[in-house]
């Protein structure tokens, strides 16, 4: 029997396990009526966002599909019409996994809060199970989607369409979701906390539900779609590189043909193996009874990583006949861990960088800002070096193919690592519900404990998402080079040399785009938040919300404002991301486009790390002071760090994560339209 | 007679004109005793800084010279021992022009203030004359230095040593000077304005002289050395590219040999012609009688630019026999103007971006910060596109040689444009002296008027400095490629392809270095300013400065603190700049080093524009409010913009300008050590 049968089995098992966890979460008690109502309001808000998003998305998918059909009908463009079909399927698969993830996350919040009544590990189990549903859906649908398209078309380059579909959803979820979550958060805080002086998560604040919805929209749907994209892109890149066998031929004793047959299925096999490792890792938390929340999450990741490493070595030798690709994979896994740890170092309130930011508050907000920016800039060193070493290492052992495999290795345990990410917003919501429903201090303490661990894992998860986006993009660049050479054939040659001014121009413009994209997304948050501020002020005044408890806020209106603003504001940055590579490709040719991709990945990676870590460090500097240091809450130092945190919010939750999408999307758009660009040059 | 005789004539005329202007400034009245004392204190402080700097510099030069001798003695390194001699001469020439510039600038401040007593144009004439001394010394010594080295060694690649020497001084002047000026400024303001509540430039503030010294150290010595470096580097790059004639052979009907003879002297001829154009431009201001300060400065630049364009066309045809290099040169000139105008747009208080920042102060300092960062990021578009178009345009007409010539074109009117830059700090000092000496409101208004125009031209000057650094660095990259190919010879080949993971690694690491460099320089300002704050607090308390006018502050101690801190803090970033290219070159080879240079230039250029324009915009948003908008001085909006300005200070005056040096220095270090790097790979 062929080992590749493990691929559909892995995908199906992931979905079955997700189904099991889903019903396991569903059968838990929702708590009392107040809790049910709050949870329902959040779910309705989340679904309202998704519904509105789908309307825009539907138009977007229709337009792009039409364009893909037209582009593939242009004589000489050599684009395959299958790309359009793969695009639609990619979009649907990503959207479905996001939808399921949102449903279970918004279902699990009140159940988590209720579960903590029994004990902490019960709450942890529910919250983590809901995250694992998302994780398993992403890897299951990802692997099955790639497999189906490959079986139908028997041409890996059609898979670029699938990746493009996944990228489009990620764009909507990350950019739109990022704008949503921060406009709601900032709007709720500015009027509620600062102007009206009521606490966070106070049910009288009309934006409070939008804020809770935002956590799910940004951190569940956004993170899930982002990593779905990285996951399938890394697999696709590996498969294409294996097909154009020259790229990987250096690593084997086979002939190129023999090699490519085995090597094409290899990333899917590794991914499938990772699913089983992730399931075992997940079980450690779901069925665990311990009280150490952070320890349980960490152990689940360690076990999954260890299993992947051991099984990966065996499978590599079995499938490829040599160990070299395994070394590449191991490099990716280690780089992922190193980047996660580096993120933790720069953003943890227990470490020196955050303490230095907190201490700089003695001299006011300006020094807090400067210190935070410096921290973010310094924090780029380790991730860049880690990715560079992983790339050189992987390339040394297995060429371009190895670089793609190292991305697959890094992402192979996504089933469990995404569960850890999506657990965060569920715990955060549970904490909000326990606050709003007045569940008493003991329960609140427990949900706070869950939430605090969620914040730590969220920082590491962000680092991991950025690192995997960078190495996936590098794999896509090499795929771009190999694909371009293949399309051009023997007649033309692709000279990607630095002595070409078009290529250097591409690098310059590519390096500029993340700066512009960041400015656009941060500006979007500002405008959306302003609309929310006006609405909250209006409701406070007109509905007399602070005068009597009988006056109820209209949560839905705030949800609607966040939704509409987010969808409106994401148009410009999205167009920039999709159109730039095509336009630059047509003007500067495939060489200039190659430069554009390299420039945008280098600069986008740096900015993403800088923004995420500055933002995370400011957030925790504020928390460090809130926990009683340097004068504690209400002191001048506290106020200074609140300003830092407000600057950091769009950094870490909108602009930074959106850059992950930008760099991958531009690469995949380039690959999709490459035949057209080459034909017209 | 050979046209190249214009080169030494141009250089000597520049120095003669500088001498004339120097004595013309010197013979003006210094004003009353109080003014003389203040001016003397500033000059003594400035000279004290230079003296301390020279001590460190002396050690640095000795060490580097020794290293150059050792490196060129290593068997097989093929480095020429002449590099060390050229290095010393480059360092001395740059230091001498900076020294003269500082002397005349610190001599002109009280004379300018006294001159405005007569009328505005008298004050303008004195301040501008002093700036023109610096401008003429830079271009005169620059052109003569290059000529002398070339005549002695008859090998343009020895000139890299001269460029390296100039770079080293620029590093000290820009990085050290940038740290100096902001530590003094921030230290004086934080304690004086905010804690003690005394006005800016109050003579009771012990840091007030250090602050005035800082203006000269940063904006006269720093700017001068920065542009000296760009000026000579662009000429050197052109000469080397002309020698390795293949690079330019595409543009002529000559044989490569014939071409190179003419083309080698061509940049020097253009530069010399620019000197004459600059002298005429300078005369418009120096001998002008009009009251429109801004108009006079603008006209002088326009006349010089116009003359350069017309004479450039004629000379190009005469020397090269074709017009193509002239088009390249024109592209550079226009790009310089476009970048200057773009800087003006993004940082002027009359334009929308600054007004938006000011308006964002309604919602507090956090939104001021976000809006300023966004402005800086958006402002990268025009400069990047301008440089890219200039490069493609120049390359289209005249290959790599054309790119270098476009940099020469951009910098050809440096004699007058640097005068405009250096006029700023003199006007600023004059304003400070009129304030401190209590010269009455009429004089103060006039000096304020001079100062205000200086702020506008300073912003444009910064944009010009960044743009010229970027295009000079591009010329150096192409020089690097051509030189590497020449050194490798027929045996090896240099494959600078994006498909090389070492090259991509170089790009990634290169793109990271400006982030790290920025973090280091901003941190240095913070630490140096903190030392100054402590000293000012100490003097206020111990000397009882605020209790009685009889108690005099010890200005010299503050000057010493700024000096020592600046020189101490510049060591780490400087080492990073000098050592990185050598280390990366030895590890990743000449391909990786090529990537490093491209990555660092792209990212450094973007960050430099971003930092300079964010900082400039915040500064002017504050001034916009201070002039009575949005509640004016003392309002919450004002306080919010003060925070923005404080963040922006190290952005625009330390980190941003230092990046100009970083990208050029790394390129020139790479060129100097290239034979060694190739030999060891």
Structure tokens at A174: 């990350």
Q: Collect all residues of chain A within an 8 Å Cβ-Cβ radius of residue B477.
A: 498, 504
Tens digit of pLDDT for each residue in B399-425? 999 999 999 999 999 999 999 989 989
Rounded CA separation A218/A174 (Å): 6
* Residue B661 predicted with pLDDT over 70: yes
Confidence at A258, pLDDT banded by 50, 70, 90: low
Q: CA–CA separation, A251 vs A263, rounded Å?
A: 11
Query: What is the predicted pLDDT for the residue at A492?
Result: 67
Confidence grade of residue A552 (pLDDT, cut at 50, 70, 90)? confident
CA B502-B506-B512 angle, to 5 degrees, is 145
Question: Which chain B positions have a beta carbon within 8 Å of A375's beta carbon?
Answer: 519
Lowest mean pLDDT among A465-479, A542-556, A626-640, B467-481: A542-556
Interface test with B, best of A191, A352, A388, A404 (most B CBs within 10 A): A388
Computed from CA positions of residues B100, B101, B105, B106, in that sequence, does the dihedral angle turn out positive or negative?
A: negative
Bridge partners of A427? Answer: none
pLDDT at B254 over 80: no
Query: Which of B190, B395, B512 lies closest to A606 in CB terms?
Result: B512
pLDDT at A594 over 90: yes
DSSP code, position B449: H
Structural tokens at position A495: 């000279």
Q: What is the mean pLDDT of residues A16-32?
A: 95
Q: Please give the Cα distance from B432 to B582 (Å, whole number).
A: 44
Residue range A339-358: mean pLDDT, rounded: 93
pLDDT tens-digit map of B54-103: 998 999 999 999 999 999 888 877 888 899 999 999 999 999 999 999 99
**CA distances (Å), origin B38, targets A277, A368, B35, B512:** 75, 35, 5, 44
Mean pLDDT across chain B: 91
Q: Which residues pair with A497 in a beta bridge?
A: B497
Which pLDDT belongs to residue A498? 92
- Confidence at residue A491, expressed as pLDDT on a 0 to 100 scale: 63
**Above 60 in pLDDT, residue A251?**
no
Say what the pLDDT of residue A656 is.
Answer: 94
A354-373: average pLDDT: 94
Q: Which of B365, B391, B606 sits opposite A505 (nearest CB)?
A: B391
- Smallest Cβ distance to A374: which of B403, B523, B606? B523
pLDDT at A267: 95
Contact assignment for A392 to B522 by CB distance below 8 Å: no
Question: Can you give the pLDDT at residue A194?
Answer: 75
**B529-575: pLDDT as tens digits:** 889 989 999 999 888 888 887 888 898 899 999 999 999 999 899 99
Of A369, A377, A509, the CB nearest to B647: A369
CA-based nearest residue to B240, from B408, B360, B100, B372: B408
What sign does the CA torsion over A436, A439, A441, A447 have? negative
Model confidence at B498: pLDDT above 80? yes
Kindly determine whether residue B365 and residue A370, on different chains, have CB atoms separated by under 8 Å.
no
The reply to whether residue B395 touches residue A501, judged by beta carbons under 8 angstroms, is: yes
pLDDT, residue A288, reads 86
DSSP class of residue B176 equals I
In chain A, what residues touch B403 (CB-CB under 8 Å)? 501
Contact state of B598 with A504 under an 8 Å Cβ cutoff: yes
Q: Copy the structure tokens of residue B398.
A: 């005249």
pLDDT(A1) > 80? no
Report the pLDDT value the prediction gives residue B440, as an integer from 0 to 100.
85
Q: Which of B380, B509, B519 sits opposite A374 (nearest CB)?
A: B519
pLDDT for B491:
63
Q: Which of A377, A496, A505 sits opposite B497 (nearest CB)?
A: A496
Nearest CA in chain A to B388: A505
> Does residue B195 contact residue B143 with C-beta atoms inside 8 Å?
no
With beta carbons less than 8 A apart as the criterion, state whether B245 and B425 touch.
Answer: no
In this structure, what are the phi and psi dihedrals at residue A95, rounded to the nearest 5 degrees?
-65, -40
Task: Report the half-sphere exposure of B640 (CA within 13 A, side-chain side).
Answer: 26
CA atoms within 13 A on the CB side of B207: 37
Question: Which residue in chain A has the smallest CA separation from B195?
Answer: A363
* Runs of H (alpha helix) within B349-440: 352-360, 365-378, 381-411, 414-436
> Does residue B649 carry a pLDDT above 60?
yes
Separation in Å, CA of B385 to nearest CA in chain A: 7
Nearest residue in chain A measured CA to CA from B373 = A519
Percent of chain A at pLDDT above 70?
Answer: 97
Q: What pLDDT shows up at residue B247?
A: 45
B334-389 tens-digit pLDDT: 999 899 999 999 999 899 999 999 999 998 899 999 999 999 999 999 999 999 99
Closest CA–CA distance from residue A70 to any residue of chain B (Å): 31
Closest chain B residue by Cα to residue A387: B505
Mean pLDDT, residues B494-518: 95
Contact B595, B502 (CB under 8 A): yes
pLDDT of the residue at A248: 46
Report ipTM for this prediction.
0.95
Asked whether the beta carbons of residue B364 and residue A526 sit closer than 8 angstroms, the reply is no
Please judge whether B605 and A523 are an interchain contact, meaning their C-beta atoms are less than 8 angstroms apart. no
Write phi, then psi, for B497 (nearest 5 degrees): -100, 145
Contact B392 A501 (CB under 8 A): yes
**Partner-chain residue, chosen from A371, A498, A605, that has the shortest CB–CB distance to B481:** A498
Q: Which of B360, B369, B515 lies nearest to residue A380, judging by beta carbons?
A: B515
How many angstroms away from the CA of A373 is the closest CA of chain B?
A: 8
Does residue B486 have a pLDDT over 80?
yes
Cβ contacts of B40 within 8 Å, gap of 6 or more? none
DSSP B172: I
Check residue A681 and give its pLDDT: 80
The residue among A439, A366, A448, A337 whose CA lies nearest residue A644 is A366
Contacts of B605 in chain A (CB under 8 A): 508
Average pLDDT over residues A172-198: 87
Q: Per the CB < 8 Å rule, is B511 touching A643?
A: no
* Most B CBs within 10 Å, among A186, A187, A368, A377, to test the B interface: A377
CB A205 within 8 A of CB A553: yes
Which range (A122-126, A299-303, A312-316, B435-439) has the least confidence?
B435-439
Contacts of residue B519 in chain A, CB cutoff 8 Å?
Answer: 373-375, 377-378
CB B422 within 8 A of CB B224: yes
CB-facing half-sphere around the CA of B481: CA atoms within 13 A: 23
pLDDT, position B248: 45
pLDDT (0 to 100) of residue B249: 47
Of the residues B400, B580, B602, the best mutation for testing chain A's interface (the one with the most A CB atoms within 10 Å of its CB) is: B602
Comparing CA positions, the residue from A385, A386, A373 lying closest to residue A346 is: A373
Q: With beta carbons under 8 A apart, name residues in chain A contacting B495.
A: 497
**What is the residue-averaged pLDDT of chain A?**
91
Q: Determine phi and psi for A29, rounding to 5 degrees.
A: -70, 140
- Please answer yes or no on whether A515 and B610 come within 8 Å at the CB atom: yes
Supply the pLDDT for residue A203: 84
Band (pLDDT 50/70/90 cuts) for residue A384 is very high
CB contact under 8 A, B366 and A647: yes
- With pLDDT > 90 as the criterion, what percentage of chain B qualifies? 67
Residue A254's pLDDT is what? 56
With pLDDT > 70 as the criterion, what percentage of chain B qualifies? 97
Reduced to 3 states (helix: H, G, I; strand: E, B; else coil), residue A497 is strand
Locate tokens 């057209």: which residue?
A676
Minimal C-alpha gap between B519 and chain A (Å): 5
- Express each pLDDT in A595-633 by its tens digit: 999 999 999 999 999 999 999 999 999 999 999 999 999
The partner residue sitting opposite A374, judged by closest CB among B371, B509, B522, is B522
Asked whether residue B250 carries a pLDDT value surpassing 60, the answer given is no
Nearest to A606 among B505, B515, B647 (CB): B515
Distance from CA of B516 to the nearest CA of A (A): 5
- Test the B interface: residue of A356, A360, A370, A506 with most B CBs within 10 Å: A370
Please give the average per-residue pLDDT across A370-382, as a whole number.
97
Contact A603 B385 (CB under 8 A): no
């Amino acid at each position: 029997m062929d080992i590749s049968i493990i691929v559909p089995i892995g995908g199906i098992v992931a979905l079955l396990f997700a189904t099991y966890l889903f019903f396991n979460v569903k059968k838990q008690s929702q708590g009392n009526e107040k809790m049910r109502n709050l949870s329902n309001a959040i779910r309705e808000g989340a679904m309202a966002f998704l519904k509105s998003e789908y309307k825009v998305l539907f138009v977007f998918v229709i337009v792009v599909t039409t364009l893909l059909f037209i582009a593939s009908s242009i004589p000489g463009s050599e684009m395959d019409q299958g790309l359009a079909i793969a695009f639609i399927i990619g979009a649907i698969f990503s959207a479905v996994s996001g939808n399921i993830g949102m449903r279970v996350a918004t279902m699990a919040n009140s159940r988590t809060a209720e579960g903590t009544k029994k004990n902490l590990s019960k709450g942890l189990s529910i919250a983590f199970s809901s995250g694992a549903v998302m994780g398993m859906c992403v890897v299951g649908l990802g692997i099955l989607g790639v497999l189906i398209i490959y079986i139908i078309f028997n041409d890996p380059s059609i898979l670029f369409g699938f990746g493009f579909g996944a990228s489009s959803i990620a764009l909507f979820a990350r950019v739109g979701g990022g704008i949503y979550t921060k406009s709601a958060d900032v709007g709720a805080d500015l009027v509620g906390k600062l102007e009206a002086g009521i606490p966070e998560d106070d049910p009288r604040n009309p934006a409070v539900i939008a804020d809770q919805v935002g956590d799910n929209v940004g951190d569940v749907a956004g993170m899930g779609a982002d990593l779905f994209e990285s996951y399938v892109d890394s697999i696709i890149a590996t498969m294409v590189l294996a097909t154009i066998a020259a790229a990987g031929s250096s690593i084997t004793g086979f002939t190129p043909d023999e090699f490519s047959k085995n090597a094409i299925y290899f990333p899917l096999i590794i991914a499938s193996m990772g699913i089983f490792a992730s399931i075992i890792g997940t079980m450690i938390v779901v069925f665990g009874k311990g009280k150490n929340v952070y320890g349980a999450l960490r152990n689940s990741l360690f076990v999954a990583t260890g299993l992947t490493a051991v099984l990966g070595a065996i499978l590599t030798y079995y499938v490829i006949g040599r160990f070299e690709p395994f070394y590449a994979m191991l490099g990716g896994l280690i780089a992922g861990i190193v980047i996660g740890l580096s993120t933790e170092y720069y953003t943890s309130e227990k470490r020196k960088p955050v303490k230095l930011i907190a201490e700089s508050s003695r001299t006011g907000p300006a020094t807090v800002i400067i210190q935070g920016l410096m921290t973010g800039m310094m924090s780029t060193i380790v991730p860049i070096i880690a990715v560079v070493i992983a790339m050189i290492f992987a390339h040394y052992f297995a060429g371009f193919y190895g670089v793609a495999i190292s991305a697959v290795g890094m992402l192979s345990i996504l089933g469990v690592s995404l569960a850890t990410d999506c657990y965060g917003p569920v715990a955060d919501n549970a904490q909000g519900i326990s606050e709003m429903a007045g569940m008493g201090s003991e329960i609140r303490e427990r949900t706070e404990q869950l939430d605090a661990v969620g914040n730590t894992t969220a920082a590491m998860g962000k680092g991991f998402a950025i690192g995997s986006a960078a190495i996936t993009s590098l794999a896509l660049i090499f795929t771009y080079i190999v694909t371009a050479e293949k399309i051009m054939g023997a007649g033309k040659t692709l000279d990607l040399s630095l002595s070409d001014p078009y290529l250097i121009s591409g690098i310059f413009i590519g390096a500029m785009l993340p700066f512009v994209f960041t400015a656009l997304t941060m500006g979007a948050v500002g405008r959306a938040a302003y609309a929310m501020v006006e609405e909250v002020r209006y409701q406070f005044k007109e509905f007399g919300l602070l005068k009597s408890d009988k006056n109820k806020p209209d949560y839905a209106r705030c949800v609607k404002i966040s939704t509409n603003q987010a969808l409106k504001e994401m148009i410009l940055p999205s167009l920039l991301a999709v159109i730039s590579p095509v336009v630059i490709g047509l003007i500067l040719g495939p060489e200039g486009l190659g430069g554009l991709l390299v420039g945008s990945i280098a600069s986008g990676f740096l900015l993403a790390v800088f923004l995420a870590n500055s933002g995370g460090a400011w957030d925790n500097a504020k928390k460090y002071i809130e926990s009683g240091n340097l004068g504690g809450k209400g002191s001048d130092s506290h106020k200074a760090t609140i300003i830092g945190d407000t600057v950091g919010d769009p950094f870490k939750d909108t602009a930074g994560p959106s850059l992950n999408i930008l760099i991958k999307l531009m690469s995949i758009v380039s690959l999709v339209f490459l035949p057209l660009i080459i034909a017209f040059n």
